[in-house]
Amino acid sequence: MTDAGDPTPKPRKLHVKSFGCQMNVYDSQRMADLMAREGYTETARADDADLVILNTCHIREKASDKVYSEIGRLREFKDAAARDGRQMQIAVAGCVAQAEGAEIVRRAPAVDLVVGSQNYHKLPELLARSARKPVVDTEFPVEDRFDALTPPSRRAIRARGVSAFVTVQEGCDKFCAFCVVPYTRGIEVSRPVARIVAEVERLAEAGVRAVTLIGQNVNAYHGAAETGGSATLADLLYRVARIPGIAQLRYTTSHPNDVDETLIAAHRDLPQLMPQLHLPVQSGSDRMLAAMNRKHTREQYLDVIVRLREAQPDIAFTSDFIVGFPGETDKDFADTMSLVDVVQFTTSYTFAYSPRPGTPAASIAEQVPEAAKTERLHALQAKIREREAAFNRQCVNRSFDVLLEKPGKLPGQLVGRSPYLQPVHVMADRSRIGEIVRVHTTGLMVNSLFGDIIAAPPQEAPLALAGAGE
Ligand code: SAH
Ligand code: SF4
Ligand code: F3S
């Protein structure tokens, strides 16, 4: 540690910018916690920071390219700081760091440190070394980096709000033909149940009420159980649900092939488990699913949806879709469009296929022209938006349990989330942040609901969540 032996490290400022998925958000918070111990306080501004960390994403070309434009901007701040006699360090962390390593320092000499997604627990030591010359560390270490991390202070937890992400699983062994994650994050590793429970207990004691268990492939979770042997994600959910104060649970992101009977049962039996599931399917065409190496068919995916709906009729599904995967025809795309109608996803993320270096799909000769990708993307987005708007309209004039999370834009207003993650605005005193209240919704603006806190729920017919064709 740089400041070992120095009881009062001088205050320095840290700016962390997170790109990509929730795993990166979690890692960014852990980096901030670690550097807090070294005397760094967080700042929202990059220009007056002593250390800027870019926690990067490699998933698509656009995401990856952003890193270099960000570094360009930071270099100006760094030069300005140097003119004022102040040193600013720039660190690139996350998945681009893992994938490109030393190439980043070659292309952008302003960078002091490149630290891979598995090594950021060594940040203080690496930063000290980088004072002399740029350092690159992208090895996959043998030690568990989670064990080496600093837990957040109570104040940091409170500042982050009443809902939190907790990484329970990392990496992916699925090797979908388009995806860099197995290369940037490595093989699937699960944290032991006891460690996760300790982390959630700490969060709950500081006021956190909702927890989302996260992992690149979270339902492949198989961590060490507290009583020996290995626990499934469902076992973990039941255990975390017993922690006092934790009222709402979610998990993301799941793979359809790893939805087992225990997880389906958890959706039926566990009241804390929110009726919302992000279950990416990528395509509705069996031919594309095979080419993508998803290892499941359209029917198998639909079967999982049906079984989850039988267990929990209120469950709403969202997905990720890729259009323009190599070899995708109009017919394949039509299958994707029809799947959206069949499942009636409440919303979804859509992406145009982006060839990624080192992945099998990038070298397939039959790439889809950009114009066709864009056209399909727009058509799919229009369909998804239409369904999303219809779902949001259906959610007006109903009642939901809402976790009040933070102040709204108007004075006296708070914002919370519906079980389906829509923002819900109500008039309520700030002291009620962290409470779960019953809200009767009265209006809708774009994707936000508005409503009033009520005492008891009226009798209501169920939401229309299932599609016609299942
Ligand atoms: N582990 C999750 C998420 C992976 S990344 C899962 O298995 O679903 C998030 C999403 O990015 C993916 O679901 C996919 O839709 C999209 N994606 C991944 N690689 C991509 C690529 N090369 N081009 C376009 N979209 C991609
Ligand atoms: Fe990528 Fe597929 Fe793994 Fe998801 S399951 S992270 S899409 S390889
Ligand atoms: Fe991006 Fe890495 Fe997440 S590539 S999506 S930040 S796992």
The side-by-side arrangement of strands in the sheet containing 210-214 is 163-167, 210-214, 248-252
Ligand 2 atom with the smallest distance to the CA of 179 is 1
Helix/strand/coil for 184? helix
Is pLDDT at 147 greater than 90 in this prediction? no
Output the ligand 1 site: residues, CB below 6 A: 59-60, 178-179, 181, 216-217, 253, 255, 280, 282, 320, 322, 351, 353-354, 356
Please name which of 448, 453, 465 lies closest in space to residue 402, comparing C-alpha atoms.
453
Please name which of 50, 16, 57, 56 lies closest in space to residue 34, comparing C-alpha atoms.
16
Q: What is the DSSP string of 302-340?
A: HHHHHHHHHH-TT-EEEEEEEE--TT--HHHHHHHHHHH
Ligand 1 centroid from CA 419, angstroms: 24
Q: Using CA atoms, how far apart are residues 276 and 251, in angstroms rounded to an integer?
A: 9
Ligand 1 atom with the smallest distance to the CA of 356 is 22
Ligand 3 neighbour 116 (Cβ under 6 A): no
Angle between helices 330-343 and 298-311 (to 10 degrees): 10
Is pLDDT at 244 greater than 90 in this prediction? yes
Ligand 3 centroid from CA 172, angstroms: 11
Pocket probe mutation, ligand 1, options 24, 59, 170, 281, max atoms within 8 Å of Cβ: 59
Burial class (CB in 10 A: 0-12, 13-18, 19+), 381: middle
Ligand 1 centroid from CA 184, angstroms: 13
The whole-number pLDDT of residue 3 equals 46
Q: Name the percent of the chain lying above pLDDT 70.
A: 96
Ligand 2 centroid from CA 69, angstroms: 27
Please name which of 285, 275, 272 lies closest in space to residue 239, comparing C-alpha atoms.
272
Degrees (nearest 5) of the Cα angle 129, 132, 135?
Answer: 50
Do the Cβ atoms of 105 and 67 come closer than 8 Å? no
The whole-number pLDDT of residue 469 equals 54
In this structure, which residue's CA is closest to atom 12 in ligand 1? 320
Ligand 3 atom with the smallest distance to the CA of 24 is 6
Residue 241 C-beta-side C-alpha neighbours within 13 Å: 18
User: Which residue is listed with tokens 């993301």?
Assistant: 252
Ligand 2 centroid from CA 59, angstroms: 10
pLDDT band at residue 10 under the 50/70/90 scheme: low
Architecture of domain 151-274: 2-Layer Sandwich (3.30)
What's the count of helices (H) and strands (E) in the chain, helices before strands?
14, 19
Number of Cβ atoms within 10 Å of the Cβ of 133: 8
Written as six digits, the tokens of 393 are 């309209």
Residue 101 C-beta-side C-alpha neighbours within 13 Å: 11
Backbone angles phi, psi at 279, to 5 degrees: -130, 85
The residue that leads in pLDDT, 46 or 144, is 46
Do the Cβ atoms of 61 and 362 come closer than 8 Å? no
Q: Using CA atoms, how far apart are residues 37 and 124, in angstroms rounded to an integer?
A: 10
pLDDT band at residue 1 under the 50/70/90 scheme: very low
Give pLDDT tens digits for 182-231. 999 999 999 999 999 999 999 999 999 999 999 999 999 999 999 999 99
Ligand 2 neighbour 180 (Cβ under 6 A): no
Ligand 3 neighbour 217 (Cβ under 6 A): no
Strands 423-427 and 448-454: parallel
The whole-number pLDDT of residue 131 equals 86
Ligand 2 atom with the smallest distance to the CA of 216 is 6
Strand partners, 452: 440
* Mean pLDDT, range 453-470, rounded to an integer: 73
The whole-number pLDDT of residue 162 equals 95
Do the Cβ atoms of 420 and 444 come closer than 8 Å? no
Number of Cβ atoms within 10 Å of the Cβ of 339: 22
- At 142, the amino acid letter reads V
Ligand 1 atom with the smallest distance to the CA of 349 is 15
Q: Using CA atoms, how far apart are residues 370 and 12, in angstroms rounded to an integer?
A: 46
The whole-number pLDDT of residue 150 equals 80
Q: Using CA atoms, how far apart are residues 42 and 251, in angstroms rounded to an integer?
A: 28
Ligand 2 neighbour 315 (Cβ under 6 A): no
* Mean pLDDT, range 287-295, rounded to an integer: 98
The whole-number pLDDT of residue 458 equals 63
Strand partners, 190: 169
Ligand 1 centroid from CA 247, angstroms: 30
The whole-number pLDDT of residue 446 equals 87
pLDDT band at residue 132 under the 50/70/90 scheme: confident
The whole-number pLDDT of residue 143 equals 64
Pocket probe mutation, ligand 2, options 214, 255, 281, 320, max atoms within 8 Å of Cβ: 255
Give pLDDT tens digits for 417-456. 999 999 999 999 999 999 999 999 999 998 999 999 998 6
The whole-number pLDDT of residue 142 equals 63
Q: Name the percent of the chain lying above pLDDT 90.
A: 86
Q: Of the ligands numbered here, which is closest to the C-alpha atom of 67?
A: 3
Ligand 2 centroid from CA 85, angstroms: 46
Written as six digits, the tokens of 282 are 């990528």
Ligand 2 neighbour 25 (Cβ under 6 A): no
Ligand 3 neighbour 181 (Cβ under 6 A): yes
Ligand 2 atom with the smallest distance to the CA of 253 is 4
Ligand 1 centroid from CA 420, angstroms: 22
Q: Using CA atoms, how far apart are residues 233 and 250, in angstroms rounded to an integer?
A: 11
Pocket probe mutation, ligand 1, options 61, 259, 320, 380, max atoms within 8 Å of Cβ: 320
Same fold yes or no, 151-274 and 280-394 = yes
Number of Cβ atoms within 10 Å of the Cβ of 302: 19
The residue that leads in pLDDT, 150 or 105, is 105
One-letter-per-residue 3-state SS of 370-427: HHHHHHHHHHHHHHHHHHHHHHHHHCCCCEEEEEEEEECCCCCEEEEECCCCCEEEEE
Show me where the domains of the chain are located: 12-137, 151-274, 280-394, 399-454
Give pLDDT tens digits for 114-123. 999 888 889 9
Q: Look up the CATH number of domain 399-454.
A: 2.40.50.140
Q: Look up the CATH number of domain 280-394.
A: 3.30.750.200
Give pLDDT tens digits for 399-422. 999 999 999 999 999 999 999 999
Written as six digits, the tokens of 462 are 């169920």
In this structure, which residue's CA is closest to atom 2 in ligand 2? 176
Ligand 3 neighbour 97 (Cβ under 6 A): no
The whole-number pLDDT of residue 146 equals 77
Strand partners, 314: none
First-last CA distance in the chain: 58
Ligand 3 atom with the smallest distance to the CA of 98 is 2
Helix/strand/coil for 99? helix
Which CATH topology does 12-137 take?
Rossmann fold (3.40.50)
Which is it for the CA torsion 463, 210, 17, 172, positive or negative? negative
Is pLDDT at 466 greater than 90 in this prediction? no
In this structure, which residue's CA is closest to atom 3 in ligand 3? 21
The whole-number pLDDT of residue 11 equals 82
Q: What is the mean pLDDT of the chain?
A: 93
The whole-number pLDDT of residue 173 equals 95
Is pLDDT at 369 greater than 90 in this prediction? yes
Give pLDDT tens digits for 323-337. 999 999 999 999 999
- Between 42-56, 147-161, 229-243, 308-322, the lowest mean confidence (pLDDT) is in 147-161
